[in-house]
Amino acid sequence: MERFICIHGHFYQPPRENPWLEGVEIQDSAHPYHDWNERITAECYAPNSASRIVDGAGRILDIVNSYARISFNFGPTLLCWMERSSPEVYRAILEADRLSIAWRSGHGNALAQVYNHLIMPLANRRDKETQIRWGIRDFESRFGRFPEGMWLAETAVDGETLELLAEAGIRFTILAPHQAARCRPLTGGRWHDVGGGRIDPSRPYRCRLPSGRSIVIFFYDGPISRAVAFEKLLDRGETFAHRLLSGFAEHRQWPQLLSIATDGETYGHHHRHGDMALAYALNYLEGNGLARLTNYGEFLDHSPPTHEVRIVEKSSWSCLHGIERWRGNCGCNSGSHGDWHQEWRAPLRAALDWLRDELAERYAAAAGQLFHDPWQARDDYIDVILDRSPGRLAPFLDLHAIRPLRDDERVTLLKLLEMQRHTLLMYTSCGWFFDELSGIETVQVIQYAGRAVQLAQELFANGIEHAFLARLAEARSNLPEQGDGARIYERFVRPAMIDLVKVGAHYAISSLFQEYDEETAIFSYRVRREASRLVQAGTTRLTIGRAVVGSAVTTEEELITYCVLYFGGHALNGGVRSFRGDEAYRAMGGAIVAAFEQSDFAAIIRLMDEHFGMHTYSLRDLFRDEQRRILHQVIAATLGEFEESYTRLYDNYRLLMSFVRETGMPVPNQFRTTAGLALNLKLASAFAAAPLRHGEIEELLGEIGEWAVPLDAVDLEFQVRRRLEGIMAALRKSPADEQLLEEACSSLATVARLPVEINFWKCQNDYLTIARTTGRAIAARASSGDRAAGRWLAAFRTIGDQLRFATAAVIPAAAGDDT
C-alpha cells in the first residue's frame, strides 16, 4: 500500500510586545541579538527557509526551503512581528505555501492557528469564536486563501471548540494520540476504546458533532514525535528518516499516513542544526522513493476518513492532567525548580476571568450605544488590527457604527475595542505554562491585563484597578521578594504604563540627541512638531517646544508643551505637560530662555517646577531602546578613555611581560586581564576597518595565542559575520566587481584563522544566488575560452570552498579547470 509522510511544525513564540508601545523592546538575555524573536529567527525560522543539504564531508550540495515540504502553522502574533522585523523570512514562508499548493494538488502546507494561543476549553464561547475568526482572517490576509486546517494552542480541545471550528468552515485539526477516547468504522458498529494513545494514527478520523456537523481529526504519531523533540533524533538526518519509516506497518491494508507534530523551534533552536536534519531526511525519503511527502489537506482528499472518533474532553498535548496546567497546581512544570509550587495559577486565572467578565459587561453597554452589534464589531476588528491606516478604519466604522461619529466618539470606540483585544491577549497560554508567577511570560499576560485596566479607567473612571489587584494578590509567588500578583503588578506593570504625555516626554528628551522630522513615528505613536527652540552654551543645552502626540491605535491626540535642560553626561531634567494655551507657553519659554542666557540654572529648575509641577522626567523615562542608544552615546567618550588606557598599558609592558614569561615566572593576572581586553579591542577595530586590515589581524591572532587570552567570541562572531554579510550582499548586487570578489576571498581566508565558528548562513545564501543567476553563465563563457571569465570563476569557486560548498555541485567547472 502507499506510504505518505507529513511532518508538522507548530511555529510560535509568546508575544513579547510592550502592550503600550506595540513593539518588542531590547532583551539583554538574547544578546547579541536585539530580542528573543530575532534570536530564534536566526536560529530556526530563517534556517528552515534556506536549509542546507550537505554531503558526507559537510559540504553544501543545495539550499532548500523546508517550509515548502512540511505542514506548518505560525502564530499570528509571531507573523505580525516577522512581517515588520524579518521581512525576507516572512516572504519565504508565504512563498513556501504558494509552492506547496502547486506541488500538493492545490493544498497549501500552511495551517491557521487560534489567534493568540489561548487555551480554548478554558475560554467562554464568545472568546472562542473571536479567536477562531481572528485566526482565519489573519491567515487569509497573509496567505491569500481560506485555511483548510487550524492548530489549537497546546492542542487543547473540547466539543464546543470543535463545533465552532466546523461552523467556521475548518475541515480538520491535529491532536495528540492520547486525546482520542473511542473509535469505530463510519459504517457503525461497536466503539473501541483507544484511550492512552492506542489509536491508529495512520488514517484520518471524522468526529461527528451534536449540531450535525463534523470535523476531521488527524492524530500524530506520539512516540516518533517525542523522539524528535526530546531524544536527539535530529542529530543525524538519515537516522531521522529511518525512524519516520519505522512508523509504517505491513499489516495495514490502506494508504498509510505517518504524521508527526512538534514545536517548530525543535528544528534549529532547541536542536542546533535540526533544520539540516529535517532537510536531509525529506530529501532522503523523497529522493529514494521511500515515501511520498504530503500535507493534511492533500491526504484527506486522497484518503477520506473511513472511521469516526470521539475525543477526550478538555485534553491537551502537554499536560497529563488534561488542561490543569493552565489553571491549577497539577504538577506539570518546566522541572527547573523542583521545590516550587504553582498554586498561583488558579487565583491568576480567577482574577483574569473576573476582569474579563466585568469589562465585557461594560463594553457591551458602552459600545452598544454606538455599534449595531458590539460583538460582531469585535470579531471584525481584526481587519483594523491588521491594517491601522485611516483607509481601513473608515470602512470598518461605516459598517458597524449606527451613525457618523465625532472624533471623540471614534476614540472611545477604539479604546473599547482595544480593551477587548487586551482581555484576549491576557489569556495567552504561556502565562501559566512555566514555574513562577514573576516569570517574564506571566508578567507579560499581567501587563496585557494592566493595559485593559488602564483603558477601562480612562473610559469609565470606575476604580476597577483596585478590585482587580485585590484578586491578583491571592496569587502567591515562590520568591519571597516578589510577594504576590499585586506586588508584581506594582513592580513590573504600573511603571510600564504609558500615556500621551509620557510619549511626549520621550520625544522631548530624545530630540536633544537626534534630529526628528516634522512628523515622526515612535513605536505605535505619531508626533507632529508645532514649535521648537534649541539654545546651547558649551555642553549645556536647552530645548523648548510644543508638539501633537497621537496614538496610531486609538487615534487619540494631545497637544503637549515641553522643556528639557541637559547639563552633559546623564544629568538631565525635563518637564512635559498638556498645552495650557499660547500665553502660558510664551511666558514659560521667554522666562526660561532668559534664565539660560544668564546661566542661572537654579532659576531654570525653579521655573520648570512652576510650569510643569510634578510632570518632570529624566533619562530614566525614555523607552528602553532609545535609552540604551543615548546612554551608549553618553558613555562613548568614557569608554574610549578606558579602551585607550588598557591598550596603552598593554603596548607599554608587552615586552617586559614577554621577558617575565621566558624566565619561567608566572605572568601577573593583572597583565593577562589587560592583555585580554586590549587584544580583543584591537581585533574588533581591525575587523571594523575598511578595508580589512589583514596583516594586523594575523599579528593580533598570534599575540592572542601567545598570551592565551580568551576571545570575546559572541561579540566577535556577530561583528565578523555582519562584516562578511555586507561584502557578500554587495557582491550579489555587483557580481562582476573584481575588487569585491578579491575582498570576499581575502576576508574569508583571514576569518578562517579565527578560533571562532562563524555562522555563514546569509553569506552562503548570497553565494548560491550569485551562482544561480551569474555564475553558471560565466562558467559557460569560461568553457568557451574566455580568460577573464575563467579568472572570475576560479576566484568564485575559491569563495565557495571557503563557504563550505561542494562547488562542483553548485557551479560547474570551466573546461580544462582542475580546481
What's the grid cell of residue 25? 523592546
CATH number of the domain residue 235 falls in:
3.20.110.20
Q: Is residue 670 included in any domain, yes or no? A: no
What's the grid cell of residue 375? 460583538
Amino acid making up residue 671: F
For the purposes of burial, counting CB atoms within 10 Å of the CB of 168, is it exposed (0-12), middle (13-18) or buried (19 or more)? middle
Confidence of residue 783 (pLDDT cuts 50, 70, 90): confident
**Spatial distance between the Cα atoms of 3 and 221, rounded to a whole number of angstroms:** 14
**Spatial distance between the Cα atoms of 690 and 686, rounded to a whole number of angstroms:** 9
Q: Is residue 248 included in any domain, yes or no? A: yes
Verify that 487 and 510 share a domain, yes or no.
no
**Spatial distance between the Cα atoms of 706 and 289, rounded to a whole number of angstroms:** 54
Number of Cα atoms under 13 Å in the Cβ half of residue 747: 27
Q: Is residue 665 included in any domain, yes or no? A: no
**Spatial distance between the Cα atoms of 340 and 352, rounded to a whole number of angstroms:** 23
pLDDT at 462: 80
For the purposes of burial, counting CB atoms within 10 Å of the CB of 640, is it exposed (0-12), middle (13-18) or buried (19 or more)? exposed
pTM value is: 0.93
pLDDT reading at 817 higher than 90:
no
**Spatial distance between the Cα atoms of 394 and 371, rounded to a whole number of angstroms:** 14
Verify that 476 and 551 share a domain, yes or no.
no
**Spatial distance between the Cα atoms of 158 and 210, rounded to a whole number of angstroms:** 12
pLDDT at 775: 86
pLDDT in tens, 745-770: 999 999 999 999 999 999 999 999 99
Summarize the confidence of residues 243-255 as an average pLDDT.
Answer: 95
Q: Is residue 648 included in any domain, yes or no? A: no
pLDDT in tens, 179-218: 999 999 999 999 999 999 999 999 999 999 999 999 999 9
Verify that 96 and 159 share a domain, yes or no.
yes
Verify that 190 and 242 share a domain, yes or no.
yes
Q: What is the DSSP string of 13-60?
A: -----BTTTTBPPP-GGGTTSSSHHHHHIIIIIHHHHSEEEE-TTS-E
**Spatial distance between the Cα atoms of 750 and 694, rounded to a whole number of angstroms:** 7
Verify that 286 and 384 share a domain, yes or no.
no
Verify that 106 and 127 share a domain, yes or no.
yes
pLDDT at 784: 87
**Residues 42/43/48/52 CA torsion (nearest 10 deg):** 100
pLDDT at 819: 41
Q: Are 748 and 799 in contact (CB under 8 A)?
A: yes
pLDDT reading at 259 higher than 50:
yes
Q: Is residue 333 included in any domain, yes or no? A: no
Amino acid making up residue 515: E
For the purposes of burial, counting CB atoms within 10 Å of the CB of 813, is it exposed (0-12), middle (13-18) or buried (19 or more)? middle
State phi, psi for 18 to the nearest 5 degrees.
Answer: -65, 120
The closest of 675, 631, 629 to 649, measured between CA atoms, is 675
pLDDT in tens, 169-188: 999 999 999 999 999 999 99
pLDDT in tens, 577-626: 999 999 999 999 999 999 999 999 999 999 999 989 878 899 999 999 99
The SS3 of residue 534 is: strand
pLDDT reading at 418 higher than 80:
yes
Q: Choose one of 589, 622, 655: the last residue of a domain.
A: 622
What's the grid cell of residue 29? 538575555
**Residues 17/22/26/31 CA torsion (nearest 10 deg):** 50
Summarize the confidence of residues 647-674 as an average pLDDT.
Answer: 92
Q: How many CB atoms lie within 10 A of CB 665?
A: 10
Q: What is the mean pLDDT of the chain?
A: 94
Kindly give the interhelix angle for 669-688 and 713-733, rounded to the nearest 10 degrees: 10
Q: Is residue 698 included in any domain, yes or no? A: no
Q: Residue 32, preceding bond cis, omega within 30 degrees?
A: yes
Q: Is residue 751 included in any domain, yes or no? A: yes
pLDDT in tens, 664-704: 999 999 999 999 999 999 999 999 998 889 999 999 999 99
**Percent of the chain predicted with pLDDT > 70:** 99
Verify that 478 and 511 share a domain, yes or no.
no
Task: List, edge to edge, every strand of the sheet that includes 525-537.
Answer: 519-522, 525-537, 540-551, 557-568, 571-578, 616-617
Verify that 159 and 243 share a domain, yes or no.
yes
**Percent of the chain predicted with pLDDT > 90:** 88
Which whole-number Å values give the CA distances from 795 to 339, 740, 744, 802, in the listed order?
60, 11, 9, 11
pLDDT at 746: 94
Summarize the confidence of residues 75-80 as an average pLDDT.
Answer: 96
Range from 103-107, 347-351, 788-792 carrying the lowest mean pLDDT: 788-792
Verify that 183 and 267 share a domain, yes or no.
yes
The answer to whether the Cα torsion of 260, 262, 267, 272 is positive or negative is negative
Identify the helix (H) or strand (E) that includes residue 356.
helix 345-367
The closest of 111, 135, 112 to 123, measured between CA atoms, is 135
Q: Choose one of 472, 496, 520: the last residue of a domain.
A: 496
Verify that 476 and 534 share a domain, yes or no.
no
Place of cell 459504517: 187
- Number of domains into which the chain is organized: 4
Residues 6+ apart with CB under 8 A from 415: 455, 458, 459, 554, 556
Domain that holds residue 795: 713-819
Summarize the confidence of residues 26-55 as an average pLDDT.
Answer: 95
pLDDT at 812: 63
pLDDT in tens, 699-735: 999 999 999 999 999 999 999 999 999 999 999 999 9
Kindly give the interhelix angle for 440-460 and 345-367, rounded to the nearest 10 degrees: 30
pLDDT in tens, 98-141: 999 999 999 999 999 999 999 999 999 999 999 999 999 999 99
pLDDT reading at 459 higher than 60:
yes
Confidence of residue 816 (pLDDT cuts 50, 70, 90): very low
Q: Is residue 694 included in any domain, yes or no? A: no
Residues 6+ apart with CB under 8 A from 788: none
Verify that 295 and 425 share a domain, yes or no.
no
The SS3 of residue 367 is: helix
The SS3 of residue 499 is: coil
pLDDT at 813: 56
Q: Choose one of 496, 519, 539: the last residue of a domain.
A: 496
Verify that 492 and 508 share a domain, yes or no.
no
pLDDT at 340: 95
Summarize the confidence of residues 368-372 as an average pLDDT.
Answer: 96
